[in-house]
Amino acid sequence: MKRTLSLLLLSALSLAAAQKVATPIAIGIAVAQTSNASLFGQEQVIGAKLAEKFLNARGGVGGTPIKLVFQDTSGDEAGAINAFQNLISKDNVVGIVGPTLSQQAFSADPIADRAKVPVIGPSNTAKGIPQIGAYISRVSAPVTAIAPNALKQALKINPKLKKVAVLYAQNDAFSTSETGIFQQTAKDLDLNIATVQKFQTTDNDFTTQVTAVLGENVDLVIISGLANDSGNLIKQLRQLGYKGLIVGGNGLNSSSMFPICGQYCDGVIVAQAYSPTQSSAANQLFAREYKAQYKKDPPQFAAQAYTGVQVFVDALKVLDHKRKIADWDLGELRVALNKQILIGKYKTPLGELSFDKDGDIVQQAFYVAQIKMKDAKNGTFVFLK
């Protein structure tokens, strides 16, 4: 009796310690499917699903399919934490692509890091994201790499630019990080910052800020915010009479924002970490599949989410060669997978990429686009030379 009990106990213990990886292989997607941040999140869902379909059609991981498990983070920190906890402890994913906002990443990523679950940020561009911990990397190039390109392009369009106004969302980690880079670059380029105005991502009325900007007679406005706030800000700037150039940050990098500022989005300059014309074979395939389904060029957020899933799959394939994924202990696999992600080289829609020692993306090319509106709702990002 005693012996049976202790045997039972032993097997229960070993079960808890050695949880095998389930098949299909579960990869967590924790992005904003609801809230204002879903303007980005919806594009991420599309990108991730395309990757799942495409990579499974090509054999998944050594013949074993992957399965994406979606947990909606909504737009705040609590939602991201909740989604991460579910994916880690209930859904038993091998790793997580997410969250959407840097503001969320600073709260949710430490949870995955402590649990030794690899996270690939698909769109977090604030400084300091990969430094959250050893298990955190990202495929979204940081503001330091992206933002300066937009200002240089503005000066190319109008070399006489001198006086600028800077506006940013002070309650958002990405926006405060990005405005720091914009302001430093403006100084480096000998631009004179006439005014710095703050707002909240939840604001709808920007009369105070716009009035301050108009009072300074600037010829360039630089905005760091998310989609809804920045879109409304641009609209009100134009409606109240601002005529000069506008540079927008990564929060304006989605066509979901077009219906918000409508025709007033026209001409806004936005730097990009992805171009639909990127010449790699991986991108040609991705862009073709996307276009066939959605009748337009793929946006940056979709390309980056696709890339996040692909990096997981490519790294899993290397480990699968050593030992079939289904034979791994989940905890061991998560640790080995994180190591493999960081040492690998990947041929993705963003071009060939790898990671630096912190887990930040090393990417070859960046781009700048200008918004061209066709009517009040529809427009495109026109890539500039």
Q: Give the residues lining the site for ligand VAL (CB under 6 A).
A: 40, 100-102, 123-126, 174, 226, 250-251
Q: Minimum distance from CB of 140 to ligand VAL (Å)?
A: 6
Closer residue to ligand VAL in complex, CB, 250/363 = 250
Which amino acid type is present at position 31?
V
Q: Minimum distance from CB of 28 to ligand VAL (Å)?
A: 18
Q: Minimum distance from CB of 223 to ligand VAL (Å)?
A: 12
| Whole-number Å distance between alpha carbons of 235 and 280 | 37
Closer residue to ligand VAL in complex, CB, 100/370 = 100
Closer residue to ligand VAL in complex, CB, 81/126 = 126
Beta strands in the chain (DSSP E): 25-29, 66-70, 96-97, 119-121, 136-138, 163-169, 192-199, 220-224, 245-248, 269-272, 346-348, 351-355, 361-363, 367-373, 379-383
Which amino acid type is present at position 370?
Q
Q: Minimum distance from CB of 375 to ligand VAL (Å)?
A: 25
Tokens of 73: 């983070």
Q: Minimum distance from CB of 358 to ligand VAL (Å)?
A: 16
Closer residue to ligand VAL in complex, CB, 55/302 = 302
CB neighbour list of residue 214: distance below 8 Å, 6 or more residues apart:
240, 241, 242
CB neighbour list of residue 364: distance below 8 Å, 6 or more residues apart:
351, 352, 353
Q: What count of other Cβ atoms lies within 10 Å of the Cβ of residue 155?
A: 15
Q: Give the DSSP H/E element, type plus range, for residue 370.
A: strand 367-373
Which amino acid type is present at position 351?
G
Closer residue to ligand VAL in complex, CB, 97/316 = 97
- What is the CA angle 186-187-189, rounded to 5? 65
Coil, helix or strand for 265? helix
Q: Give the DSSP H/E element, type plus range, for residue 316.
A: helix 300-322
CB neighbour list of residue 144: distance below 8 Å, 6 or more residues apart:
127, 181
Which amino acid type is present at position 339?
K
Closer residue to ligand VAL in complex, CB, 123/340 = 123
Tokens of 336: 């080995």
DSSP 349: T
Q: Minimum distance from CB of 132 to ligand VAL (Å)?
A: 13
Closer residue to ligand VAL in complex, CB, 231/251 = 251
Q: Minimum distance from CB of 183 to ligand VAL (Å)?
A: 17
Tokens of 186: 């403006």
Q: Minimum distance from CB of 250 to ligand VAL (Å)?
A: 4
Q: Minimum distance from CB of 174 to ligand VAL (Å)?
A: 3
Closer residue to ligand VAL in complex, CB, 103/209 = 103
Tokens of 234: 């641009």
Closer residue to ligand VAL in complex, CB, 80/111 = 80
Tokens of 243: 């005529």
